[in-house]
Amino acid sequence: MIPIVFFGTTITFVILRMGPIDPAAAVIGASGDTEAYQSVRRSLGLDQPLWLQYVDYLRDLFTLQFGYSWVVNRGRPVWELIGVYAPRTIWLGFWSVMLPLFVGLPLGFYAGLNPNTLSDYVASFGGIVWRAMPNFWLAVIFVAVLTQSEQLFGFQWESWLVETNIVTPPDLSELWVPRNFLGAFKAILPAALVLGSASMGNEMRIGRTAVLETKNENYVETARAKGVPGRKIVYKHVFRNALIPLVPIITGEAFLLLGGSVLVETVFSINGLGYLFYAATINADLPLVGSLMFFFILLSVGINIVQDLLYTLIDPRVGYGGEGA
Amino acid sequence: MSVVDDEDATLRERLTDEPGPALRVFAVVAALVAVEFGALANLVMSLPWDAVGTALPGFVQGVAATLAGVGDALAGLPTLLSRSVIDNAGYQLPSGEWEGTFMGLSPAIAWAIRVVLIYAYGFVWLLVGWWSYLVYRDNYRHANWAPVDDMVGRFRNHSWGLFGLAIIFAFVVLAVFAPALGPTTVDANIADPYLHSIEFYNEETGSVEEMYVGDANGDSQSRGQGGENVGPLSYDQYDRFHPFGTLPSGKDLFTFMAAGARVSLFIGVASLALAGGAAVVFALATAYYKGLVDLGIVITSDSIQAMPQLLVIMLASFVLSGTWLANLYNGGVVLALLFGLTGWPGLWRAVRGPALQVSEREWIDAAKSFGQRPSVTMRKHMLPYVVGYLLIYASLTLGGVIIGVAGLSFLGLGINAPTPEWGRAVSAGQPYVATPSWHISLLPGILIVIVVTGFNALGDGIRDAIDPQSDVDTGQQDQSAAAGGGA
């Protein structure tokens, strides 16, 4: 784990500092004031030799001193920015992992339990197409359809149940109040559906084949011969074993969402981490970019650990310490 | 069956021994090339020869100049499927007659004829490819039977895989013949509309007039409700036919899409060649040497995968913008490099398993024990087994790359601005999705969905053909299917 964080950070450093971009020039902008330029260079530590910069960079990141944003939100600590932007991304990511789980998996299991029926074909084909859809395109269409829902379907999405906007960040204050929770959920729902679309297709496919495979296993036949009721077989013997191949998919997707959220957040104007990273990139806010990338690397390593833990929970045969996926 | 039964006959000997079938294949291929020779020469001449020429010593430059003259002359040769032979640009007289189009047909029909002919031509190439494989297999191959034959046989009966192949075929033809397929050209309609002009019949003055394409584009915009709109399969007021309608700027969407397909295909194939090459080399090396090499590559690939792919590409393509690298092929080369450099760990993980499996076989041990060089062992005894698996994941990943490129250009990154890219069309049409100009965003998106589904289907087909007993869905493969960073 440590070498991975180390290497990843090094790659980021190489991209940021050894590329043709001059961070100091980006900070002072187009004014071209030499005096200011020199002082910015000095305060960023750019006048030092590269290896010293590298050591400083690593030391700061590994002691979690993320420094300050220089361009996007000048002078604000990166931690504070993460504190503001991250909850929205987490809320979005949470639901885009949960929705596919609660929609895609049951559909896949249903298709697997009724193979080669019309509903199986519809579900399978839908999953294939759903999986191939580009998120940003789906997001564009969702936004357009929902903003025009009045004319298109005769019901207004924005005022349905609770008043929400379609293209603003969700209000995450006081989530324990049911009304606020519902509002926040409704506001994130389209974006989460879009972001989770690929996962939904994947999970459906995998759920289907997993059920198809386990359904014919000996222990299932034994259980059936013993007279275990059908519903119980499905829950106890089929479902649980079918979950095992799904663990790496779900955790892997949780990570993919981080990258994909840039586009979805941009279209839905949810100012989350992905959007922050995008803004930092196009404004050449290199200190912020470096810190965010380090944060993402930590997250991904964390997700990997969670994945190994999940394995031990679902499959008692796997002990922690064994090689994960 | 081959006449020669000599075990050690080389392919050349077997060919000279029985040249008949090979000559027949060659004749057909030559005929196919001949009808499109002008286009091919054109393509060769359009490469940046000037840059190469100046680097050459003086006397070679003279030769090169003569060659260039010959090449230019060849490029001017008429080709069967070009727009000059079957022209769809013209104008309609009040009598309903069409002037300037192919045989006086309406532009729509002339364009359709050209499209059908081009696809037929592509299809003939496909058949010829298949035929020459059969000729090789039945006449010249050393072995009577090889495992590949069974795989090909299984794939031929795999309707889902064939469906994928058909879609990929259509996509590749669209990309390769992009200049001839569009109702107009990128140059005339998109890049330099004010350097080109069209003729049209002016009803007010009752005469044929000439105007700049740029001015005509100004009157053929698609701007949704209340504004002007030129939808799919319709004509604008200057009698230009737009199969997919027009962009908000009045430019032709089909031409844009065809050129964009070229860019997408180039980036996809180039990045996969890079990533796949690296993946195979690393997989073979790790499976052969194991130990420290394996560990080193595991850590490297894990570190690359620990960073969100799309974000890294976004960052790196921004950092590199403004360098000479970013101007190669309008930024396509940089994207291909970045997708390749960030994409190999996924592919490597996918082929590492099969490579490790094959490295445990006896024949590897045998090869080692009689002192075969490692590189030869890897190439001859391990590579053939791994390549099939690579194809599966490459096909699944290609769809992801296409989505990723489209996503980046949707954000305005990656491919430099005026160059057509599918994601840019989606972004241009974003305000008009729920208006009469719905086609601008929807058609590119639907095309992406179809193409990506095609690549997934092809991957499924290859997998079932290579390994019919494989557990159909393992986690790995679906993760690589989602490559492109979840764009």
Residues B245 and B390 in one domain: no
Contacts made by residues A159-162, CB under 8 angstroms, sequence distance 24+:
A160/A186, A161/A186, A162/A186
Residues B199 and B324 in one domain: no
In a domain, B120, yes or no: no
A262–B323 CB contact, under 8 Å? no
A136–B487 CB contact, under 8 Å? yes
Q: Are A130 and A298 in contact (CB under 8 A)?
A: no
Taking CA atoms, what residue in A is nearest to B315? A281
B482–A252 CB contact, under 8 Å? yes
Task: Identify all chain A residues contacting B426, using CB atoms and an 8 Å cutoff.
Answer: 134, 136-137, 140
Tokens 């002078």 sit on residue = A75
User: Which amino acid, residue B183?
Assistant: P
Mean pLDDT of A154-169: 71
B159-176 and B147-156 helices, crossing angle to 10° = 90
Residues B336 and B407 in one domain: yes
* Domains recognised in chain A with CATH numbers: 2-62 (no CATH), 82-282 (1.10.3720.10)
B200 pairs with which residues across the strands? B209
**HSE (side-chain half, CA atoms, 13 Å) at B88:** 23
B212 pairs with which residues across the strands? B197
| Torsion, CA A228, CA A231, CA A233, CA A234, rounded to 10 | 170
Distances (CA, A) of A174 to A92, A178, A184: 17, 9, 10
Most confident of the following: A190-194, B126-130, B292-296, B375-379: B126-130
Taking CA atoms, what residue in B is nearest to A11? B304
Please tell me the distance in Å from A227's CA to the nearest CA on chain B: 29
pTM: 0.85
- Give the domain-ending residue among B234, B251, B268: B251
For residue B470, pLDDT beyond 70: no
In a domain, B365, yes or no: yes
Burial of B157 (0-12, 13-18, 19+ CB in 10 A): exposed
In a domain, B420, yes or no: yes
pLDDT band at B46, cuts 50/70/90? low
Please tell me the distance in Å from A181's CA to the nearest CA on chain B: 27
Cβ contacts from A onto B, under 8 A: 195
Q: Are B356 and B364 in contact (CB under 8 A)?
A: no
A260–B307 CB contact, under 8 Å? no
Structure tokens at A6: 């180390």
Task: Identify all chain B residues contacting A257, using CB atoms and an 8 Å cutoff.
Answer: 486
Residues B405 and B356 in one domain: yes
Mean pLDDT for chain A?
A: 79
For residue A268, pLDDT beyond 90: no
B486–A284 CB contact, under 8 Å? no
Structure tokens at A1: 């784990």
Report the CATH number at residue B415.
Answer: 1.10.3720.10
Task: Identify all chain A residues contacting B310, using CB atoms and an 8 Å cutoff.
Answer: 259-260, 262-263
pLDDT value of residue A322: 43
Task: Identify all chain A residues contacting B399, using CB atoms and an 8 Å cutoff.
Answer: 132
Structure tokens at A216: 């014919």
The beta-carbon neighbor of B456 closest among A4, A19, A132 is: A132
In a domain, B71, yes or no: no
Residues B226 and B365 in one domain: no
Please tell me the distance in Å from A25's CA to the nearest CA on chain B: 13
- Give the domain-ending residue among B251, B270, B302: B251
Task: Identify all chain B residues contacting A247, using CB atoms and an 8 Å cutoff.
Answer: 475
Q: Are B482 and B393 in contact (CB under 8 A)?
A: no
pLDDT value of residue A324: 40
pLDDT value of residue B445: 92
CB atoms < 10 A from the CB of A96, how many? Answer: 29
Mean pLDDT for chain B?
A: 82
In a domain, B158, yes or no: no
User: Which amino acid, residue B362?
Assistant: E
List strand residue ranges (DSSP E) for B38-122, in order. 91-92, 98-99
Taking CA atoms, what residue in B is nearest to A252? B479
How would you label B383-407 residue by residue, b for 16+ Cβ within 10 Å and e otherwise?
bebbebbbbbbbbbbbbbbbbbbbb
A16–B311 CB contact, under 8 Å? no
Please tell me the distance in Å from B486's CA to the nearest CA on chain A: 4
Task: Identify all chain A residues contacting B413, using CB atoms and an 8 Å cutoff.
Answer: 282
Structure tokens at A325: 């996926």
Task: Identify all chain A residues contacting B440, using CB atoms and an 8 Å cutoff.
Answer: none
Residues B219 and B285 in one domain: no
Antiparallel, parallel or unpaired: β B241-242 and B207-212: unpaired
A281–B318 CB contact, under 8 Å? yes
Residues B389 and B369 in one domain: yes
Please tell me the distance in Å from B352's CA to the nearest CA on chain A: 13
The beta-carbon neighbor of A136 closest among B316, B426, B479 is: B426
Q: Tell me which of B167, B302, B356, B396 to substitute to probe the interface with A (most A C-beta atoms closer than 10 Å).
A: B302
- Residue B99 — φ and ψ, nearest 5°? -110, 140
Structure tokens at B319: 């950092």
Q: Tell me which of A124, A143, A197, A263 to substitute to probe the interface with B (most B C-beta atoms closer than 10 Å).
A: A263
User: Which amino acid, residue B133?
Assistant: Y
Tokens 């006896």 sit on residue = B362
Antiparallel, parallel or unpaired: β B207-212 and B197-202: antiparallel
B452–A132 CB contact, under 8 Å? yes
The beta-carbon neighbor of A7 closest among B300, B310, B471 is: B300
The beta-carbon neighbor of A258 closest among B308, B406, B473 is: B308
A7–B481 CB contact, under 8 Å? no
Mean pLDDT of A254-267: 80
pLDDT value of residue B267: 92
B152: left (phi over 0), alpha (psi -120 to 50) or beta: alpha
Mean pLDDT of B264-289: 92
Residues B233 and B334 in one domain: no
| Spatial distance between the Cα atoms of B422 and B378, rounded to a whole number of angstroms | 40
Taking CA atoms, what residue in B is nearest to A148? B434
| Spatial distance between the Cα atoms of A279 and B314, rounded to a whole number of angstroms | 11
Task: Identify all chain A residues contacting B448, using CB atoms and an 8 Å cutoff.
Answer: 132-134, 137
Task: Identify all chain A residues contacting B164, using CB atoms and an 8 Å cutoff.
Answer: none
B487–A282 CB contact, under 8 Å? no
Residues B382 and B473 in one domain: yes
Contacts made by residues A22-31, CB under 8 angstroms, sequence distance 24+:
A23/A70, A23/A284, A23/A286, A23/A287, A26/A70, A26/A71, A26/A283, A26/A284, A26/A285, A26/A286, A27/A70, A27/A71
For residue B316, pLDDT beyond 60: yes
B449–A134 CB contact, under 8 Å? yes
pLDDT band at B275, cuts 50/70/90? very high
Task: Identify all chain B residues contacting A148, using CB atoms and an 8 Å cutoff.
Answer: 434
pLDDT digits (tens, 9 = 90+) for B190-213: 888 888 888 888 877 878 888 888
Task: Identify all chain A residues contacting B430, using CB atoms and an 8 Å cutoff.
Answer: 140, 144
Taking CA atoms, what residue in B is nearest to A22? B319
pLDDT band at A316, cuts 50/70/90? low
The beta-carbon neighbor of B473 closest among A129, A134, A206 is: A206
Number of H helices, E strands in chain B: 20, 6
Residues B262 and B226 in one domain: no
Distances (CA, A) of B64 to B47, B72, B159, B346, B398: 14, 12, 50, 44, 38
Structural domain range at position B429: 254-483
pLDDT value of residue B17: 80
Q: Is the dihedral of CA B126, B127, B131, B132 positive or negative?
A: negative
Residues B343 and B415 in one domain: yes
Taking CA atoms, what residue in B is nearest to A214? B471
Residues B240 and B357 in one domain: no
Please tell me the distance in Å from A178's CA to the nearest CA on chain B: 32
pLDDT digits (tens, 9 = 90+) for A85-142: 888 888 888 888 888 888 888 888 888 888 888 888 888 888 888 888 888 898 888 8
Task: Identify all chain A residues contacting B450, using CB atoms and an 8 Å cutoff.
Answer: 132
The beta-carbon neighbor of B485 closest among A147, A259, A300 is: A259
pLDDT band at B472, cuts 50/70/90? very low
The beta-carbon neighbor of B306 closest among A8, A19, A199 is: A8
For residue B161, pLDDT beyond 80: yes
pLDDT band at B162, cuts 50/70/90? very high
- Give the domain-ending residue among B251, B282, B302: B251
B475–A245 CB contact, under 8 Å? yes
| Spatial distance between the Cα atoms of B359 and B366, rounded to a whole number of angstroms | 11
Of A101 and A163, which is predicted with more confidence? A101
Antiparallel, parallel or unpaired: β B91-92 and B241-242: unpaired
| Spatial distance between the Cα atoms of B232 and B253, rounded to a whole number of angstroms | 9
DSSP assignment, residue B437?
T
| Count of domains for chain B | 2
A253–B482 CB contact, under 8 Å? yes
Question: ipTM value of the model?
Answer: 0.84
For residue B49, pLDDT beyond 70: no
In a domain, B341, yes or no: yes
Most confident of the following: A146-160, A302-316, B36-50: A302-316
User: Which amino acid, residue B377?
Assistant: T
Burial of A180 (0-12, 13-18, 19+ CB in 10 A): middle
In a domain, B465, yes or no: yes
Taking CA atoms, what residue in A is nearest to B444? A137
A213–B471 CB contact, under 8 Å? yes
pLDDT band at B168, cuts 50/70/90? very high
A11–B307 CB contact, under 8 Å? yes
pLDDT value of residue B167: 94
B318–A284 CB contact, under 8 Å? yes
A260–B486 CB contact, under 8 Å? yes
